Amino acid sequence: MSDIGGTTTDIAVLDGGRLRLDPEGATVGGMRTMVEAVAMPTFGLGGDSEVSLHERSLTSTIVLGPQANGP
């Protein structure tokens, strides 16, 4: 399941039709809340975010932003 908004993309996994939970909670400001929460990473990809591929000889990396491609 994903939610793509104006500035971010949130991705969650359904497990048997239910959202997967993270028992250690969400990460806020680099700290874990330690309160069970939906396991849903957020990426800075939304709206006109630039996505680029940095290719190397054996591996490639997808890079999100921080540039924008909009007007």
Arithmetic mean of pLDDT, 2-29: 86
Phi, psi of 68 (to 5 degrees): -120, 150
How many Å apart are CA 61 and CA 50, to the nearest integer? 14
Would you call 40 helix, strand, or coil by DSSP?
Answer: coil
Higher pLDDT, 7 or 13: 13
Question: Is residue 28 over pLDDT 70?
Answer: yes
pLDDT at 71 > cutoff 70: no
Average pLDDT, the chain: 83
Higher pLDDT, 54 or 47: 54
Q: How many domains does the chain have?
A: 1
Could you list the residue range(s) of the whole structural domain that residue 10 is in? 2-68
The pLDDT assigned to 10 comes to 85
The predicted model gives 27-45 an average pLDDT of 86
